[in-house]
Amino acid sequence: MADENQNQNLRQYKLDAYNKLEKSFVSYADLTAVTALDIAADTEPFVTLAAYGHGLIGKYIAKRDIENVQKQNIIARESVYKKLQKADAALKNKNENWQLVVVYGYRSPGVQQRLFNTELERTQNDNPALDYNEIIETVHRRVAVPSVSGHPTGGAVDVTVYDFVKGSYLDFGTDVRDFSTKDSYYNSPFISREQKENRSYLRKVMTAEDFAPYDGEWWHFSYGDKEWAFYSRRQARRNKLETTDLKYLYAHKLPAELVYTDKYRDSAAVEQAGLVRLAIQKSGRLTEETVNILKKSGIDVDYGEGKFFGKCGNFPLEILFVRDDDIPGLVDAGAADAGIVGQNIYEESDCKSVILKELGFGRCALAVAVPEFSGIQSIFDLSGKKVATSYNRSAGKFFERENILNVGIVPLSGAVEMAPTIGYADAIIDLVSTGSSLRQNKLKFLHKIFDSESVLIANKAALDNKEKHSTIDRLISRITGYLSAKSYKRVMFSVRKERLEAIKPALASAKLANLCDSLADSEYSIVRAVVKKSSIWDIIEELKKNGAEDIVFYDIESIM
């Protein structure tokens, strides 16, 4: 019993010590404050670190995600490579048998996103009580948030040191990239003096080359990324130096943008082929939600007023910002591969491209409206009358379909609701969502022609192209994940094992409700379920009545 208490105390003591260290790490919130990116100036090539050459081994353990993009080698910024060579030379000044080993360099933004998503899911499951910001910070300590992470910039490296006479790596207290213990924290008090000295020496040679260290991983260093900018500025402040020279703040690069050594040129070309140009509304009703949907789908959209093009740092997508009524034409002509546009504009334009996905926002209807006190009672009374609209084609098709002859369509490109008041037309055909604009203009709704919402469209050529099609599929799958997550919540609770059957009916309508963990040595089970937002309160009341305890529920980022 005394032993058990002692162990418990020791565990708590270690936990407190690690928690204290975590507080001093550079956090995600810190990095979001670094905004002065000099993307335009970023033309630096990426190079392949020679395997077993010139003192740099780029071939430690070929981890799965390295293999995909980097084959057997490690890729990094040219400037990083040069600095690594100097750091390696400095190591050899102390011991000529030592060799700097680069274990990891560039990681594609897509891989970073996938690793992040997995860690996020795990952390959310393990810490249901944490709020979203705490979850993100916890995840960030292990897998950086993609928009601020260093590896996709080619500026971050994970390194260790090899003694080629002894034939072994120096003892740093943990293996490089070992995430199973918090002794990976640079200042862990639970490592030996020799291990501390080794870490300290490695940090010394790397920071002498202007790399920024990361306190959460003794092996991680970066140059020119956001972490580096934050660190350099803080160091400068501490030393009371003036430094505004942050021009090496790197953008994340897609594999397509990397300048590889010859060996990698082919794979770069393949990535380029998968790049999809997506046209979206430049400024208007749909812009904010369109950008939001892309962002929530994990795509970093570089959006700024007055821009025509936007790059997406972590997805093979290039955004074209245009007027929304130009989108169907641009996509049909192949000037863009795909577009996001209101169905009303799509119908009006005689677009040949196909609708791939309805996006659930920008909902409205194309409708016929007449003055409040008009004698027009039904659409058939419109025969021989004048109808003002910006939707000439849709209006013409509608009257033809309904066989209402002799309608004078009066084209107007704006302020259509005004037309009856000023005696320009007897009725209008326009978009209606809440109806408030009709009321304001003393008009009443007469007939709905069709419902509309924003849709994702793509042209045939893009869909026939294997690489582009695959990018579009990925885009749709992410958007679908986000859209379905928006209407669901995750519920988690504990329940006595003998009450498990009793709570089942309450979860009958739930999606993914069969996830049941039994807590070892406990009378409780943990139940997790995904339920519709619209019925969450009914379900929770029902669960409580039937024995559920400690119920927590929260929003879901995405369901893939």
Whole-angstrom distance, CA of residue 123 vs CA of residue 141: 11
31 or 331, CB closer to ligand AMP?
331
Residue number of the CB closest to ligand AMP reads: 342
Contact status: 431 vs ligand AMP (CB under 6 A): yes
> Which one of 295-303, 339-347, 440-448, 481-489 is the stretch in contact with ligand AMP (CB under 6 A)?
339-347
Whole-angstrom distance, CA of residue 559 vs CA of residue 426: 49
298 or 342, CB closer to ligand AMP?
342
32 or 433, CB closer to ligand AMP?
433
Question: Tell me, what amino acid is at 441?
Answer: N
| Strand, coil or helix: 119 | helix
| Strand, coil or helix: 456 | strand
Question: Tell me, what amino acid is at 543?
Answer: L
Considering the complex, what minimum distance in angstroms separates the CB of residue 298 from ligand AMP? 25
| Strand, coil or helix: 347 | helix
300 or 324, CB closer to ligand AMP?
324
Listed in sequence order, the residues at least 6 apart from 76 whose beta carbon sits closer than 8 Å to its beta carbon are 46, 47, 49, 84, 102, 105, 106, 154, 155, 157
Query: Cα angle vertex 257, ends 251, 258, to 5°?
Result: 90
Candidate residues 149, 160, 452, 558; the one interacting with ligand AMP per rule CB under 6 A:
452
Considering the complex, what minimum distance in angstroms separates the CB of residue 362 from ligand AMP? 4
Q: Which secondary structure element, helix H or strand E, spans residue 458, and what is its range?
A: strand 454-458
Considering the complex, what minimum distance in angstroms separates the CB of residue 341 from ligand AMP? 7
Candidate residues 45, 284, 396, 408; the one interacting with ligand AMP per rule CB under 6 A:
284
Contact status: 290 vs ligand AMP (CB under 6 A): no
Contact status: 345 vs ligand AMP (CB under 6 A): yes
From the list 358, 322, 354, 335, the residue with the least C-alpha distance to 459 is: 354
> Which one of 125-133, 280-288, 384-392, 408-416 is the stretch in contact with ligand AMP (CB under 6 A)?
280-288
Contact status: 428 vs ligand AMP (CB under 6 A): no
| DSSP conformation letters of 23-36 | HTSPPHHHHHT---
Contact status: 429 vs ligand AMP (CB under 6 A): no
Candidate residues 111, 157, 278, 286; the one interacting with ligand AMP per rule CB under 6 A:
286
282 or 478, CB closer to ligand AMP?
282
Interacting positions 296-325 with ligand AMP (CB under 6 A): 324
Candidate residues 14, 285, 386, 397; the one interacting with ligand AMP per rule CB under 6 A:
285
Q: Where are the alpha helices (DSSP H) in 209-309?
A: 226-238, 265-273, 287-296
> Which one of 60-68, 95-103, 138-146, 281-289 is the stretch in contact with ligand AMP (CB under 6 A)?
281-289
Contact status: 279 vs ligand AMP (CB under 6 A): no
Contact status: 433 vs ligand AMP (CB under 6 A): yes
Candidate residues 58, 255, 313, 342; the one interacting with ligand AMP per rule CB under 6 A:
342
Candidate residues 202, 364, 382, 491; the one interacting with ligand AMP per rule CB under 6 A:
364
Question: Tell me, what amino acid is at 517?
Answer: D
> Which one of 278-286, 374-382, 469-477, 532-540 is the stretch in contact with ligand AMP (CB under 6 A)?
278-286
Considering the complex, what minimum distance in angstroms separates the CB of residue 433 from ligand AMP? 3
> Which one of 85-93, 168-176, 284-292, 409-417 is the stretch in contact with ligand AMP (CB under 6 A)?
284-292
Tokens of 58: 């780029």
Candidate residues 216, 362, 420, 481; the one interacting with ligand AMP per rule CB under 6 A:
362
Tokens of 103: 């274990």
Sheet with 454-458: strands ordered across: 309-311, 317-322, 276-281, 338-342, 454-458, 354-358
Whole-angstrom distance, CA of residue 439 vs CA of residue 429: 15
85 or 392, CB closer to ligand AMP?
392
Whole-angstrom distance, CA of residue 194 vs CA of residue 189: 12
> Which one of 196-204, 342-350, 390-398, 494-502 is the stretch in contact with ligand AMP (CB under 6 A)?
342-350
Whole-angstrom distance, CA of residue 60 vs CA of residue 64: 12
286 or 531, CB closer to ligand AMP?
286
From the list 528, 34, 36, the residue with the least C-alpha distance to 247 is: 36
Whole-angstrom distance, CA of residue 545 vs CA of residue 498: 14
Contact status: 344 vs ligand AMP (CB under 6 A): yes
- Counted residue by residue, the chain has a size of 560
- Matching residue, tokens 């670190």: 49
Listed in sequence order, the residues at least 6 apart from 46 whose beta carbon sits closer than 8 Å to its beta carbon are 75, 76, 77, 78, 106, 154, 253, 258, 259, 260
Considering just the CA atoms, what is the radius of gyration of the chain in Å? Answer: 30
Please count the residues of this chain forming the interface with ligand AMP, following the rule CB under 6 A: 12
175 or 289, CB closer to ligand AMP?
289
Contact status: 367 vs ligand AMP (CB under 6 A): no
From the list 438, 449, 326, 455, the residue with the least C-alpha distance to 392 is: 449
Interface residues with ligand AMP (CB under 6 A)? Answer: 284-286, 324, 342, 344-345, 362, 364, 431, 433, 452
